[in-house]
Amino acid sequence: MKSTLPLLLKTDFPALSRQSLQTLQVNLGYLCNQSCQHCHVNAGPKRTELMDGETIELVLQAVKKHQVQLLDLTGGAPEMNPHFKSLVAAARALGTTVMDRCNLTLLSEPGYEGLAEFLADNQVQITASMPCYSPANVDKQRGQGVFDRSIAGLQALNRLGYGIKGTGLELNLVYNPLGASLPPPQVALEADYKRELRAHFDIEFTRLFTITNMPIQRFGAVLLGQGLFEDYMQLLKDAYRPDNLDTVMCRTLVSVDYQGYLYDCDFNQMLQLPAASELSARPHLRDLLAREHFNNSIRVGDHCYGCTAGQGSSCGGALDEQAKPVATESVIEFHANGATHA
């Protein structure tokens, strides 16, 4: 796989520093029941990397010490980590909001009966990738049959109250473009999703998050291989909006890999760019526990233009939903099978 890292580090992106630590985004490992072509961590059934119990305990200590508001659990399929339920229960006991980035199909896997009920009982927020409301696009990006199983998962969650007004159970969906373009305006696309999923499947959900594809890992390699990397970067830079700098996710988030090492965001984690720290060249959760505050400078690169282009992009969707759409149509002829970030 061709690396985009040398190209991304030669950047004129503005300097950033962390304002406060509100969200701890934790990757519990690369084990997954799916092998999606768009997966930016190359997760799958044969991966063995999983966060161990000792590191899980450090996560909980960090949540408590820094009064973390949101524990964002990702993977792989985070629920496949054997410590998932104990981590969720302990974090909820601390009063922390927990978000589970669920792929929906795991809910119907043998051995995971009762998972949806566990999530509901603990009032876990669910954020699920749903690239489109049509079977062809979803199966193209995530694998044959994934759409039908995802629909079944959403219907099961609805029956438990997820996505239903008044229950307090949040069910958010995530959209990524299929190729080298910016996402369409989030508000309008959310209305389309709600209309189509309600009409055809009687499904309700809370919010739709649109996320820009980052020129890293598999997606970046495809761009390089097709000679489109510079064109895509120019698309992102032409749509840059400095107003988005105030609300990019890295200002209030720290990303943790399955071994406990710290990064400024999930994208930097995948590029192996550790967070800056005067305590260590490769800071760990132990360093976070040794500090009263974690308001250090943020490592930036050209990929950061992906978070600040147009309406902006974060793991929680658009940064400015009312922003005028800019260059949302692809200006590049792109040939890839679902090579996106989710």
Q: What is the pLDDT of residues 71-85, one digit of tens each?
A: 999 998 999 999 999
User: What mean pLDDT comes out for the span 113-139?
Assistant: 84
* Cα Rg of the chain (Å, integer): 19
pLDDT for 38: 56
Burial (CB count within 10 angstroms: exposed 0-12, middle 13-18, buried 19+), residue 26: buried
Alpha-carbon span 247 to 237, nearest angstrom? 18
Contact 146, 205 (CB under 8 A): no
> How do residues 249-276 score in pLDDT, each as one tens digit?
999 999 999 999 999 999 999 899 999 8
Alpha-carbon span 217 to 342, nearest angstrom? 12
Alpha-carbon span 135 to 16, nearest angstrom? 40
User: What mean pLDDT comes out for the span 93-105?
Assistant: 96
pLDDT for 339: 36
Q: Is the pTM of this model over 0.95?
A: no
Mean pLDDT computed over every residue of the chain:
87
Residues 6+ apart with CB under 8 A from 243: 320, 323
pLDDT for 327: 46
Q: What percentage of the chain exceeds 90 in pLDDT?
A: 67
C-alpha closest to that of 151 among 132, 175, 169, 168: 132
pLDDT for 134: 62
pLDDT for 39: 65
Domain 5-308 annotated CATH 3.20.20: yes
